[in-house]
Chains A and B, each alone.
Chain A
Amino acid sequence: MNVLGIINFEDNTASIDGLGDYRPVPAISFLGRYRIVDFILSNMTNSGINNIQVYCKEKPRNLFEHLGDGKKYNVNSKRGKLRILYGEKSFASPVYNTDIANFVLNMQYIESDPNPYVIIAPSYFVYSFDFTDAFKQHLDSKADITVLYKTTDDAKTSFLGCDTLTMNKNRRVTKIEKNRGNKKNCSISMEAYIMDKKLFIDLVNRAAEISSLFWFKDIIADILKEYKVYGYGVRGYVACVNSLSEYFRINMDLRDRDELNSLFLRDWPIYTQTNDSCPTRFTETAHATGSIIANGCLIEGEVEGSIIGRNVTIREGAIVKDSIIMTDAYIGKGAVLDHVIVDKYAIVHHVKKLEGTDDNPVYVKRRDRI
């Protein structure tokens, strides 16, 4: 595929309280062993995109460490390249740190790429998708821009703050608005666009001239009359991780095997960085049901309906229920956790009961000790 892949970052309407304080959204851990960015990145490499740029809004450290040279994602080490790009100059205010500003600052890398087309997609939409067919349709349709969308009947509770598309019979996009949860049935823009690289560069420059606060999705909404923007409906699993409660819900929903199998498809591997952890050890006192568990853990206590990350220790007598425990966390003897998100390296000692709700899970900070 003669396409440059651009993995964009989410705008400021997406905010993962707590977890987002320590790392950019793409680097947030997902389902025990993945990071959010793994999905879009695997989608691109599986679709045959060799040159990929990952844009990072802030705190690139975590992302550098996780993505490395992209080898784990099957990026060809000679005929392909993975670049992690970010604004090297500091912004007067975080509001100026837009995707447009970052594209402008790294324009030389976009211009010098030999591919005539681009696919721009953010990482905070989680799905498995082969771009091949959408790209072919884009070329056949003579559209200027093709935008992926997902039809949902659940827009009152999920995809809040995302853009919705209004389309005519031919799927030409006529209007883009914010989903404020007023309507149940919506076509949600997945903010993934296919277009000529030349057009992309034009639009970036134009957006930069209009307003320093403009995002790429704003300029798309601005040019619907001038350019032919067509929608491409995506079937199958699509989720948008744009808040802590959504993050929690999405992870919890994936405990259902049918849901899990609709995200992880046969012959569509989702790659991630390996850690060489040994298998997980369950002792005689362990009790585990309805859970997704990564490698390297020691489980002595009770785990029910939870997502357990790598190298987690759950001591005898501890009860972890409907919770997300991240890498290297330690749950001590007798601790009881219900609807809790425990961030990396946190230590929850004995005789503590933590209890959250579906909409309001308790969040235990990174490296915190309780």
Chain B
Amino acid sequence: MRSNNIVAMILAGGRGTRLFELTKKVAKPAVHFGGKYRIIDFPLSNCANSDITTVGVLTQYESILLNAYVAKDPNWGLDVKDGGVFVLTPREKDQENFEVYQGTADAITQNIDYLDSLDPEYVLILSGDHIYKMNYATMLAYHKIKNADATIAVLEVPLREASRFGIMNTNKQDRIIEFEEKPAKPKSNLASMGIYIFSYKTLRKYLVADAKDSNSHHDFGKDIIPQYLKDKKQIYAYRFKGYWKDVGTVDSLWEANMDLLDDNSELDLADPNWKIYTEDINALPQYIGPEAHVENCYITQGSIILGTAKNSVLGTNCSIGKGAKVIDSVIMPGAKIKDNATVIRCIVADGVTVEEGVKCGSKDSEHITLVAKRAVKE
């Protein structure tokens, strides 16, 4: 397959501080989701399914695992001639001070030489920490029809929640006339999904100018988009319908996992026409023991279930011992819930052991309990 004239740049450098220990040693995009996936599998698979085969992944925070993970581009079918996944970390350059990425726009600016070498017509900016399925090719077609300088994907959110998002105010043709970051009194309910298509030539000029502005945060939302609007550039809103979730907190990560158990949820990972690809981990099929009880669960290969699993998402090679109960929880890959332990409303981090008879979490807790280190009897 020949690559086309669009390059995707996935911003994957963020820590995701509100995920606490889950992101102590890995960046947020590498956090596990849905039993067998990592969060970044979603934008990568979306790119592959949209026939966008040149993908730069911008990493910074705790990037060893993430760099190695995304570099295996055959996992997403991105190992094509003229394309592939390019890991872009901050680097030392000739005649310049070495700086880490200062903001979302700066991360792109620091890689202008990389983009120039590809000479794309369009650049797709994505974030590495959202769960959704989206055809970027349709968005690109929209961008072309509108003859836009930039197109921003937006989601209609309930108006009462709109003040949590970056809100786009549009005219009748869906041209964006105003952008407000987390407005107290939102004028519209179109929230930015952090997905942008830019015509590269124009973007390049703005990035170069922004880099020289010492007052800038070097951020797309705070600086680049407002400058485009100030200059009356054509920015259009592309209305996305479907599942989209920012999994920035332990609670929201848990909720997104639970959405996989909801028949009414729009997040369907079983669609053969839009598969989410991930690393191929060698594992046996799941084993359900003779005395196991499994009810309303999402379970992936390698799991060994001897006890009870209810309303839960179970990751690759995890195990639930005899008499153990896992209820309303997310068990990440390789975690072990030993005999007679109880786990309720928890996320048990990957590789963590809950020892025999230990109880974690509570059914009445307001927030989800994160179990990130070996849980032993007190």
Contacts and interface: CB of A to CB of B under 8 A. Distances in A.
Given A278-B276, A279-B34, A293 B285 contact: yes
A296 B200 CA distance: 40
A289 B288 CA distance: 6
B296 A298 contact: no
A280 interface: yes
> How big is the A interface, by class?
35 or more
A287 B285 CA distance: 17
A281 B270 contact: yes
B270 A292 contact: no
Contacts of B362: none
Given A279-B35, A281-B270, A296-B270, A290 B290 contact: yes
A289 B289 contact: yes
Most buried by B among A269, A280, A292: A280
B121 to A, nearest CB: 31
Nearest to B286: A293
A298 B270 contact: yes
A2 interface: no
B298 interface: yes
B288 A293 contact: yes
A52 B273 CA distance: 34
A280 B287 contact: no
Contacts of B299: 279-280, 282, 293
A72 interface: yes
A31 B285 contact: yes
Interface string A277-301: 1111111101111111111101000
Given A280-B298, A280-B299, A289 B291 contact: yes
A47 B153 CA distance: 51
Interface in B29-51: 34-36
B34 A288 contact: no
For the side of the interface on B, what is the size category?
A: 20 to 34
B295 A292 contact: no
A286 B276 contact: no
B211 interface: no
B142 to A, nearest CB: 28
A264 interface: yes
Given A286-B294, A288-B292, A280 B284 contact: no
A292 B286 CA distance: 6
A264 B282 CA distance: 12
A114 B233 CA distance: 66
A289 B292 contact: yes
B270 A257 contact: no
Interface string A9-37: 00000000000000000000001110000
25 contacts: A33-B284, A72-B280, A264-B284, A269-B282, A277-B270, A278-B34, A278-B270, A278-B275, A279-B300, A279-B314, A280-B286, A281-B261, A282-B296, A283-B263, A288-B288, A289-B289, A289-B290, A292-B285, A292-B287, A293-B286, A294-B285, A294-B286, A294-B301, A295-B286, A298-B270
8 nearest A-B residue pairs (beta carbon): A279-B300, A278-B269, A290-B290, A32-B285, A274-B280, A279-B35, A269-B282, A294-B285
